[in-house]
Structure 1
Amino acid sequence: MSEQYLRVCRVTIEGGGKALDASQMRIRFDVHQRDSSTPHHVNIYIYNLSKTTAQAIRKEYRSVTLEAGYESGAGVIFKGEIVQVRILRENVTDTVVHILATSAQRARNFATVNKSLASGHTYRDRIVAAAKALGEFGVTVGHIDDLGPKKFPRGFACFGMARDLLREVCFATGSSWHITNGRLNVVKNDSALPGSVIELNSDTGMIGLPEQTLDGVVVRCLLNYRILPAQKIRISEGSIQQAAFSPAYAGALNNELLQNQLGLAADGIYKALLVEHNGDTRGPNWYTEIVCVKADGGASPSLYARGITEEQT
């Protein structure tokens, strides 16, 4: 394991063929990513830029890339389109440029599909048709799971919003889709992104003890750019704190679920559903917080909320 020492933070703002590196200033950020179609977003706060630079960011720049980590290893934790730029004053002496950006929001909201598929096509062919429409907005294809061998006996007209086609295919195949840093991923609910399992323990940066909740296991660690939505992580079952029961009558069902060890994995392998990075280059915050469920799918209200029933997982 590399040493998690000496923070690294790079913010690159682009637009009109120009790029601005604001990495030398004080920077605060909070990144919000989840294994769902909801666009990921980030709030970036850059301190004490000149008025000229601040105005240029608001008028001329359109995208932002945020990298974070340590000198031993850093990577992109957010890449997306700027939605709003605000120029604020935090106190008498400090001004702040607040950048709100989303990942592929335009692609999700406006990409349309208009394509006919011949008989014998598969679910993957439908995903590819949607991905091509998203590609017109700069989205590339990341990882697409094996969605099964089923071949349709009739042709199919893909017409409408790309997001609706993706939702239909994912519901039918027990999968979910999300766009992370401009890359489309489609992952089965009992699967995860390919690659090695990230170990989370006190030696690798875990902070405090993980806690069981109805929505999954919540765990916090030192900022780790490698943790992505649908990424596999390993947590020792013995370190997870059991959730407290509710004494209310209405809480009886939830208490029963928790009593049956809802969301806990016997092998310690979990899949990240929600990933949030929080950092301040001149403050104490430099954390990643994850909400995760059993990597084999299991039963979780987080899956129900996505319209996925227990039988489909």
Structure 2
Amino acid sequence: MQRQFHRQYRLLLGKSAQTGLLLTSEDLSSDKGIRGLRMTFAIDKDTTKESNKSEIKIWNLSDASLNLIEQEDLMIELSVGYRDDLGPVRIFIGTLVKCVTKVENDGKDVCTSIICSDGMLAIRDSILSTSFAPGVDSLTILRATASNMGLALDVAEDVKGVVYHDGYSFVGYAKRSLDVICEAMGATWSIQNNMLQVIMRNGITRKQGIVFSPSSGLIGRPERVIKSSRMSNNTKEGERQEVINEVGLSKREKSKRKKQREKKRKKTSQAGWKIRTLLAPTVNPGDAIRIESNSVSGWFKVESIKHSGGTFEQEWTSEIDCIEVMLDE
């Protein structure tokens, strides 16, 4: 994190590297891409099973270039970084969801906005019809499911498989099978850069060690974030109406409904931190990072991250929401 100078990027859009459109920074001489165009990116990632999203904007593409990228299920791969560090690192790979081109600046510029989704095709199109013999391990099923979805698989070290003594059969969308398998292991799944990532609920990935401090990319002061209870005024009013409607019910049924209401309104508040850093393309949701500042110091799990920047933009940053975790030092 000490060599964050000389920004570089590489953006590939197309069905393949041979037929796609390549945009690169000026100093990537090894790439035969288009240089000098204005490009911005805004990427949102988190640990949920909803696909990660990004918006990439490019100005003043030629008609020939527009014809190349205005295709259904276009693949987009963006790599960014610093010349004096690791160079361009893949920060997002996904599929075109929406492409809009419009005139700006009184007709002087043409802006193309590309909305992309990570893992959209795998989630949308993967359907399973499979069965496994008695004694199969859930990790074996995970590997087969990831392969069926066309995804690499990354399983955290503390995820332990469970044995299906009667075997396992499933017919339907692969994402539903992932729900079943991960629930049995106490784990969660998400797709990160076209990779199926499986971590324990409240757990972390295999990757840890990046330190953010004022001398290594941390910008400003970390913000303390407390998420309040999800219970709204509408929920409270709904509970009062439920009590009124229970008139005439048996004591047993009333007791059952009371327990259900208590479960619904269980506190879900959680303390965490929000930090802003120089662009950190290697950090992904679920990773463990270390924060060192005057206000807070320790290990934290990345819950979500937003990357933003561009070729002519002043800022080139990441915004990270994280919660504290206990790691062996």
Question: TM class by shorter-chain length?
Answer: 0.7 to 0.9
The worse-fitting range, judged by mean Cα deviation, of 42-51 and 150-159 is 150-159
Structure 1 residues 150 and 167, CA gap change in structure 2 (3 angstroms) = closer
> Counterpart of 1:232 in structure 2: which amino acid?
A
Deviation of the 1:2 alpha carbon: 3.5
Matches within 5 A, 1:56-75: 56-59=68-71, 62-72=74-84, 73=86, 74-75=88-89
Counterpart in the other structure of 1:232 = 288
In the alignment of these two chains, the number of paired residues is 268
The match for 1:95 among 102, 110, 135 is: 110
Task: Say if 1:236 and 1:174 are closer, same or farther in 2 by CA, change over 3 A.
Answer: farther
Contact 2:76–2:116 (CA under 8 A) maintained in structure 1: yes
Identity percentage over the alignment? 26
Amino acid at match of 2:321: V
Greater CA drift, 150-159 or 55-64: 55-64
Displacement of 1:123 after TM fit? 2.2
Output the aligned Cα RMSD. 2.1
| Greater than 4 Å deviation, 4+ residue runs | none
Q: CA deviation at 1:61?
A: 7.9
Q: SS in structure 2 opposite 1:22?
A: strand
Match of 2:317 among 263, 287, 292: 287
Letter in 1 for 2:300: Y
**3-state DSSP of counterpart to 1:116:** strand
Q: Out of 246, 254, 275, which is 1:219 matched to?
A: 275
Native 8 Å contact 2:73 2:97 kept in 1? no
Query: How many angstroms does 1:238 deviate by?
Result: 4.3
- For the structure 1 residues 107 and 294, does the alpha-carbon distance in structure 2 shift closer, same or farther, using more than 3 Å as the test? same
Question: Against the structure 1 CA distance between its residues 158 and 279, is the aligned structure 2 distance closer, same or farther, given a 3 Å change threshold?
Answer: same
Structure-2 separation of matches of 1:11 and 1:79: 10
The partner residue of 1:202 within 214, 226, 238 is 214
Three-state SS of the structure 2 residue aligned to 1:197 is strand
Matches within 5 A, 1:223-262: 223-236=279-292, 238-240=294-296
> How many angstroms apart in 1 are the aligned matches of 2:9 and 2:116?
17
How far off is 1:281 after superposition?
1.3
Return the alpha-carbon distance in structure 1 between the equivalents of residues 281 and 199 of structure 2.
Answer: 20
**Pair member with larger Rg:** 2
Q: Go from structure 1 to structure 2 and tell me whether the alpha carbon gap of 1:185 and 1:113 turns closer, same or farther (over 3 Å shift).
A: same
TM-score by length of 2: 0.75
**Conserved? CA contact 2:48–2:189, under 8 Å:** yes
Give me the whole-angstrom Cα distance separating, in 1, the residues matched to 2:105 and 2:15: 30
Q: Which residue of 1 is the match for residue 133 of structure 2?
A: 118
Residue 43 of structure 1 pairs with residue 69 of structure 2: no
CA contact 2:2–2:215 (8 Å) conserved in 1: no
Aligned to 1:166: 178
Unaligned runs of 5+ in 2: 25-34, 228-271
Cα 1:238–1:51 shift into 2, 3 Å: same
DSSP 3-state at the match of 1:3: coil
* Deviation of the 1:170 alpha carbon: 2.2
Equivalent position of 2:198 in the other structure: 186
> 2:149 maps to which residue?
134
Change (3 A) 1:134 1:61: closer
| Superposition deviation, residue 176 in structure 1 | 1.4
Partners of 1:145 and 1:186 within 8 A in 2: no
Which deviates more, 178-187 or 228-237?
Answer: 228-237
1:59 deviation in Å?
Answer: 4.0
Q: What is the distance in 2 between the residues matched to 1:108 and 1:224? A: 27
Amino acid of the structure 2 residue aligned with 1:84? K
The partner residue of 2:100 within 86, 91, 97 is 86
- Tell me the TM-score normalized by structure 1: 0.79
Contact 1:30 1:43 in 2 (8 A): yes
* Residue type at the aligned position of 2:119: A
Which shifted more, 1-10 or 280-289? Answer: 1-10
User: For residues 296 and 122 of structure 1, do their structure 2 counterparts lie closer, same or farther at Cα, with a shift above 3 Å needed?
Assistant: farther
